[in-house]
Amino acid sequence: MLFWIVIILIVAAVAYSILCENDWLMGIPILLLGTVFGGLALLLCATFIPSNMDLVSKQTISLKALGTSSSQHGRFFLGSGYIDGKRVLNFIQQGDDGSIRVGQANAKDSVIFEDAAKATVTTEHFDYNNGWILPWPIGSTDKYEFHIPEGSVTESYTIDNE
């Protein structure tokens, strides 16, 4: 809403300077000043007026376990590491079409529960909106909720390189 008001005021100022003053060159500094002041007004409003966090999509996907033997020992649902200095969780997911893909989640946006018989991940995508300031989303974030079988998270493990 505020975005469109600023645009209308800029267009009105340029139109006034061209039509009433008969000097189209005056429209250029007015346009630049209007753009600067409008941008500052939008920035101030975006800073002080809180935005809404709207749920855009929610999806639950089955996880697959990786393993090195036929027993439950040695299998895992989540792997972790660093990519571009950010801690991530890697997981194998089952697609609706039967395919198997590698997924990735930021660790700080993830929660893990050991409470399920079948391993799943629920992904929620949120957009930050404020219709009074801008007509498009200001930002977005994803939240991940992992439900894995009890006893899947261990404090000690061994790696067999053979």
Given a cut of 50, whether residue 159 has pLDDT beyond it is yes
pLDDT at 74 (0 to 100):
45
Strands 120-129 and 139-148: what pairing?
A: antiparallel
Which one is predicted more confidently, 66 or 123? 123
* Maximal CA-CA distance, the chain: 86
DSSP string computed for 32-83: HHHHHHHHHHHHHHHHHSPPEEEEEEEEEEEEE-B-SSSSSTT-BSEEEEEE
pLDDT at 69 (0 to 100):
54
CA distance 78 to 83: 15
pLDDT at 58 (0 to 100):
92
* Residues 122 and 110 sit within 8 Å (Cβ to Cβ): no
Give the total residue count for the chain: 162
Domains of the chain, by residue range, sit at 2-48, 52-148
Measured torsion, CA atoms of residues 131, 135, 138, 143, in degrees rounded to the nearest 10:
80
pLDDT tens digits along 10-24: 677 666 666 666 666
